[in-house]
Chain A
Amino acid sequence: MKNFFTNMKKSTKNHLITYAGIIVAYAIMQILCGTGVASNLIKGLLVPICVYSIVAIGLNLCVGILGELSLGHAGFMCIGAFTGALATKLLYDYIPSKILMFLIALVIGTFFAALFGFLIGIPVLRLKGDYLAIVTLAFGQIIINIINVLYIGKDEAGLHFAFSNPNAINMNEETGVWLINGAKGITKIPSISNFTIGVILLIVSLFIVYHLVDSRTGRAIMAIRDNRIAAESVGINITKYKMLAFTISAAIAGAGGVLYSHNLSTLTATTNNFGYNMSIMILVYVVLGGMGSFRGSIIATVILYMLPELLRGLSDYRMLFYAIILIGLMLFNWSPKAIVWRQKVLSLLPFGKKGEKGKVE
């Protein structure tokens, strides 16, 4: 049993450290919430942190492991959020258990996000160059605009759809219920997600990406990133593995979206929550956390998401401090001197060995 840890693959050890870190952080937060130390402000941040960590992991798979830039991951999150919430609205009365309901919504939301990722990937991932960034950027904006003019209602006759004109929906006005009401979005979503579900979902996403990366498939994906021509020359099917990685990446973002929508009672699609700004925000988490490092993505998300809220006391100077901390983090992560210093510190620790660049942590 003692040899168990020393004989373990370095990557497996790294994975376990990440899982353990999340569980410890979860336990601490539960104790803080239980004893009433944590303020309502902090409590309100817990689920969103899980949401953005999950989306950041998904984006990191695309940007860090596959090496393709996506500027529309908030769009996939949006798809997941709306399809998941719609499923819950439709089925909530028929499904007895909340957990089961959430699982169904999760499957549906993830499936549709993956489907859109797949459809976008078909034409775009065949091309070389930065086309994916352009197309996903447009996708993110288009999806918001479409949802804002989409009307879906339900009455005893079934579902009714209308596009851009709510009066054309032809629904029984007395008994009908709006499911998606254009720009007003989806209202009265049953709140069936919580911090525990969020953490479980986060660990499951990590489990999937870690196991994906540390396998034949993951090596093929990273080979394409490192040298496309060489990857082709050893018989790797470039399009297939690009599609696979991008679809899984979109699916994980969709799962984050489902969690997001079930934490709110009213879900609307605005440029703030699903638009370009949010996509860039998540990209910032990924880049500052370290490309290809899933653990880094989570740490960066936690710090950078909490910062603006915790700095609220500084009122006007809030964003100034936020920017300074961003620059500090960037230097800490990428400056050669900081890397050398970090490795020195790590080698002093009992469990850490010399840090190795390029390894997935």
Chain B
Amino acid sequence: MALLEVKDLGISFGGLQAVSEFNISIKKGQLYGLIGPNGAGKTTVFNMLTGVYTPDCGSIVLDGVPITGKKTTYINQAGIARTFQNIRLFNDQTVLDNVKIGLHNQIKYNTFTSIVRLPKYFKSEKQMKEKAMELLKVFDLDKEADLLASNLPYGKQRKLEIARALATNPKLLLLDEPAAGMNPNETAELMDTIRFVRDNFDMTILLIEHDMKLVSGICEELTVLNFGKVLCQGYTKEVLEDTEVIKAYIGD
């Protein structure tokens, strides 16, 4: 059974049909790519999957649980975590605290415990710190743990965002243009990181990307969006050779 099953998803803003008849089916452990020209509606699809927008029609089922039109917070707890096209970190907090915030629903204790400093506070905080440092180590960010997130270089901010998303213990990870603004070296490193995450965290990943090298390098299957509609769907190699797809990207 597929981990994510999306059927006939559609949304319109005013008179503009941003996305319509969007279908996708992602199996567990897959690395799936969502591509398309600018303005095709890729990020809108992400926003519907994560509950930022409520779709007008269609259904989203994650691991057998319907999550259509639910709130972002609920959907995250149900198992979808994401990163953003324009990085959204908690800039005024340290790198470590950013990941700790990601662990919010993984290690819990209540407000009273924290005000009175019951033993549970110290135990949970210690546990949280260990787990967060473990994650940071994976992304080679452990030396920067005490820096403010806003002081990290761009490439590391992207990594931190992925680390924070993973901290929420998701089943499906959505990456919105992870390679945007990166140089070829950083992109190559990112490809390794994404593969590593998939293999070591047992993760299913859906990503939006413009960098064709990255897409052809790591994605197993692709969906191409154009003007809010699915243009083509299938194995990466076949899709990238499709004449319709080439036409959409380059023109006639």
Does A230 lie within 8 Å of B84, measured CB to CB?
Answer: yes
Contact of B104 among A225, A226, A235 (CB under 8 A): A235
Does B90 lie within 8 Å of A223, measured CB to CB?
Answer: yes
Q: Does B226 contact A (CB under 8 A)?
A: no
Interface residues of A in 228-262 (CB under 8 A from B): 229-238, 244
Does B84 lie within 8 Å of A234, measured CB to CB?
Answer: no
Does B101 lie within 8 Å of A220, measured CB to CB?
Answer: yes
B121 to chain A, nearest CB (A): 7
Does A231 lie within 8 Å of B148, measured CB to CB?
Answer: no
Chain B residue at minimum C-beta to C-beta distance from A356? B148
Which A residues lie within 8 Å of B125 (CB)? 215
In the bound complex, what is the Cα–Cα distance between A95 and B116 (angstroms)? 28
Does A236 lie within 8 Å of B88, measured CB to CB?
Answer: no
Chain B residue at minimum C-beta to C-beta distance from A230? B88
**A interface list, Cβ under 8 A from B:** 207-208, 211-212, 214-220, 222-223, 225-227, 229-238, 244, 356-358
Interface residues of B in 72-115 (CB under 8 A from A): 72-73, 76-77, 81-82, 84, 88-93, 97, 100-102, 104-105, 107-111, 114-115
Does A234 lie within 8 Å of B91, measured CB to CB?
Answer: no
In the bound complex, what is the Cα–Cα distance between A238 and B51 (angstroms)? 14
Which B residues lie within 8 Å of A236 (CB)? 73, 101, 104
Does B114 lie within 8 Å of A218, measured CB to CB?
Answer: yes
B51 to chain A, nearest CB (A): 8
Contact of B114 among A217, A226, A229, A358 (CB under 8 A): A217
Which A residues lie within 8 Å of B50 (CB)? 233
Contact of A230 among B90, B116, B124 (CB under 8 A): B90
In the bound complex, what is the Cα–Cα distance between A244 and B112 (angstroms)? 11
Does A235 lie within 8 Å of B124, measured CB to CB?
Answer: no
A215-B148 in contact given A223-B101, A235-B73, A236-B73 (Cβ < 8 Å): no
Q: Which stretch of B2-10, B13-21, B163-171, B189-197 is in the interface?
A: B163-171
User: Contact mask B54-81 → A, CB, 8 Å, 1/0?
Assistant: 0000000000000000011100110001
Contact of B52 among A220, A229, A237 (CB under 8 A): A229
What are 9 residue pairs bridging A and B, where the CB atoms are less than 8 Å apart in the complex? A216-B107, A216-B108, A217-B111, A223-B90, A225-B92, A229-B84, A229-B88, A233-B84, A235-B76
Interface residues on B, range: 35 or more
Of all A-B residue pairs in the complex, the 4 with the closest CB atoms, nearest first, are A215-B114, A235-B76, A230-B88, A232-B72
When A and B form their complex, what is the total count of cross-chain residue pairs whose Cβ atoms lie within 8 Å? Answer: 100
A12 to chain B, nearest CB (A): 11
A58 to chain B, nearest CB (A): 14
B55 to chain A, nearest CB (A): 17
Which B residues lie within 8 Å of A244 (CB)? 111
Given A230-B88, A233-B88, 11 extra CB contacts under 8 A: A211-B116, A215-B115, A215-B125, A216-B128, A217-B114, A226-B92, A227-B91, A234-B76, A234-B101, A234-B102, A234-B104
In the bound complex, what is the Cα–Cα distance between A216 and B118 (angstroms)? 13
Q: Which of B104, B108, B125 has the most CB of A within 10 A?
A: B104
Does B104 lie within 8 Å of A211, measured CB to CB?
Answer: no
A215-B121 in contact given A234-B76, A358-B93 (Cβ < 8 Å): yes
Which B residues lie within 8 Å of A216 (CB)? 100, 104, 107-109, 114, 124, 128
A252 to chain B, nearest CB (A): 12
In the bound complex, what is the Cα–Cα distance between A232 and B108 (angstroms)? 17
Q: Does B143 contact A (CB under 8 A)?
A: no
Chain A residue at minimum C-beta to C-beta distance from B77? A235
A212-B111 in contact given A223-B101, A233-B72, A234-B164 (Cβ < 8 Å): yes
Q: Does B117 contact A (CB under 8 A)?
A: yes
Does B104 lie within 8 Å of A220, measured CB to CB?
Answer: yes
Does A231 lie within 8 Å of B115, measured CB to CB?
Answer: no
Which B residues lie within 8 Å of A212 (CB)? 111, 114-115
Does B76 lie within 8 Å of A208, measured CB to CB?
Answer: no
Does B93 lie within 8 Å of A222, measured CB to CB?
Answer: yes
In the bound complex, what is the Cα–Cα distance between A184 and B215 (angstroms)? 76
Does B82 lie within 8 Å of A227, measured CB to CB?
Answer: no
Chain B residue at minimum C-beta to C-beta distance from A209? B115
A238-B73 in contact given A211-B115, A216-B114, A227-B90 (Cβ < 8 Å): yes
Which A residues lie within 8 Å of B82 (CB)? 233
In the bound complex, what is the Cα–Cα distance between A238 and B72 (angstroms)? 10
Does A232 lie within 8 Å of B73, measured CB to CB?
Answer: yes
Chain A residue at minimum C-beta to C-beta distance from B108? A216
A226-B111 in contact given A234-B164, A235-B168 (Cβ < 8 Å): no
B116 to chain A, nearest CB (A): 8
In the bound complex, what is the Cα–Cα distance between A208 and B100 (angstroms)? 21
Chain B residue at minimum C-beta to C-beta distance from A225? B92
Which B residues lie within 8 Å of A220 (CB)? 101, 104
B106 to chain A, nearest CB (A): 9
Which A residues lie within 8 Å of B168 (CB)? 234-235
Which B residues lie within 8 Å of A207 (CB)? 115
Does A219 lie within 8 Å of B97, measured CB to CB?
Answer: yes
